């Protein structure tokens, strides 16, 4: 088993133990479960644990497209006494702002909030699709700005929340955008992320880019995906869409309802965890004032 000191804590000590010490740095973990099952609370615990391990809390990228947002602010305040600072949705005005912590270090961003409820290509007529594409470039600029602007100031963990259920994940705009984030930001060398963001301003900022370089192998991601399945037993039999980001994740955690006699409870199961042995039990958990506690 790998040295537990090299692991990334989930913020839940019982879950860390279940994972053989925690998550592997530089990997992607997918958490699957229905609305209200506790995914966002786990995300808060994971992000908050960055304070102790890396000296910086993690960040939240909210992918919801319905106009509302996840309850990150309420959960963060209750669980960690943390007032989330949201990034304004505008293009990078002055590239020098990147190196100013006050102007670059934000806890959360929600750039796709006005995209409507539609999340698949089949839901859009040709005109709507062209309009969606026209807006996408600007929002991807904001997305790169958010992640890079935090990583250069020491953030090493991120939570992507608000992935909505679809019949075919391969057709989901949200999965398409996440794959862009994963491949073009999280897994990309920091210099090339800076080039994508700064473009014509790269040369004049090259010295600062090198000074603020970070290793993409130290970036650990948690993606929270809402499912139609509510019961854990249904999630356990859920096939992964071939080739999607779920099948490429290092770790997959399933969260769902279970029957306990005449009552319903919550439980989780680690369905996949490359890199070390892990407990494959179904573990009940509760959600309290400070987040998730495994029983």
CA distance 184 to 74: 31
In the prediction, which pLDDT does 242 show? 45
- Of 46-50, 63-67, 87-91, 239-243, which has the strongest mean pLDDT? 46-50
In the sheet that holds 263-273, the strands lie side by side as 108-109, 59-62, 157-163, 220-226, 28-33, 251-260, 263-273, 283-288, 291-294
Mean pLDDT calculated for residue range 106-114: 87
HEC assignment per residue over 1-38: CCCHHHCECCCCHHHHHHCCCCECCCCEEEEEECCCCC
Task: Write down the pTM of the prediction.
Answer: 0.90
Q: For 90-101, what is each residue's pLDDT tens digit?
A: 867 789 999 999
* Residue of 11, 50, 23 lying closest to 151 (CA atoms): 50
pLDDT at 289 over 50: yes
What is the DSSP annotation of 72-139? HHHHHHHHH-----BPP------GGGGG-HHHH--SEE-TTTTS-S--BGGGS-HHHHHHHHHHHHHH
Mean pLDDT calculated for residue range 131-141: 81
Q: For 4-32, what is each residue's pLDDT tens digit?
A: 458 999 999 999 999 999 999 999 999 99
Helix axis angle for 190-198 and 202-211, nearest 10°, is: 150
| Alpha carbon 284 to chain centroid, angstroms | 23
Q: For 185-212, what is each residue's pLDDT tens digit?
A: 999 999 999 999 999 999 999 999 999 9
In the prediction, which pLDDT does 6 show? 83
Confidence bin at 169 (pLDDT 50/70/90): low
pLDDT at 117 over 60: no
What length is written for the chain?
295
In the prediction, which pLDDT does 4 show? 46
The pLDDT > 90 percentage for the chain reads 68
């Amino acid at each position: 088993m790998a040295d537990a000191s090299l692991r990334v804590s989930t913020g839940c000590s019982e879950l860390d133990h279940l994972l053989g010490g925690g998550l592997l740095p530089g990997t992607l973990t997918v958490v699957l479960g229905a609305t209200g099952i506790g995914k966002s609370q786990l995300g808060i615990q994971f992000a908050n644990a960055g304070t102790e391990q890396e000296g910086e809390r993690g960040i939240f990228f909210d992918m919801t497209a319905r106009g509302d947002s996840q309850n990150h602010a309420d959960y963060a305040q209750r669980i960690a006494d943390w007032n989330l600072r949201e990034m304004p949705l505008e293009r990078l005005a002055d590239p020098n702002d990147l190196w100013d912590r006050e102007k670059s270090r934000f806890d959360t961003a929600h750039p796709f909030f006005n995209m409507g409820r539609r999340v698949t290509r089949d839901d859009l007529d040709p005109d709507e699709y062209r309009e969606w594409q026209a807006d996408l470039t600007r929002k991807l600029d904001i997305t790169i700005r958010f992640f890079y602007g935090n990583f250069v100031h020491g953030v090493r963990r991120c939570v992507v929340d608000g992935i909505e259920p679809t019949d075919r994940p391969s057709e989901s705009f949200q999965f398409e955008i996440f794959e862009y984030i994963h491949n073009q930001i999280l897994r990309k060398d920091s210099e090339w992320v800076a080039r994508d963001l700064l473009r014509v301003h790269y040369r004049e900022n090259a010295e600062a880019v090198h000074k603020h370089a970070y290793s993409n192998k130290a970036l650990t991601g948690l993606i929270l995906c809402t499912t139609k399945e509510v019961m854990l037993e249904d999630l356990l039999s859920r096939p992964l869409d071939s080739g999607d980001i779920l099948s490429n994740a290092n770790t997959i955690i399933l969260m769902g309802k279970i029957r306990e006699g005449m009552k319903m409870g919550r439980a989780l199961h680690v369905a996949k965890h490359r890199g070390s042995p892990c407990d494959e039990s179904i573990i009940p958990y509760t959600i309290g004032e400070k987040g998730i506690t495994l029983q």
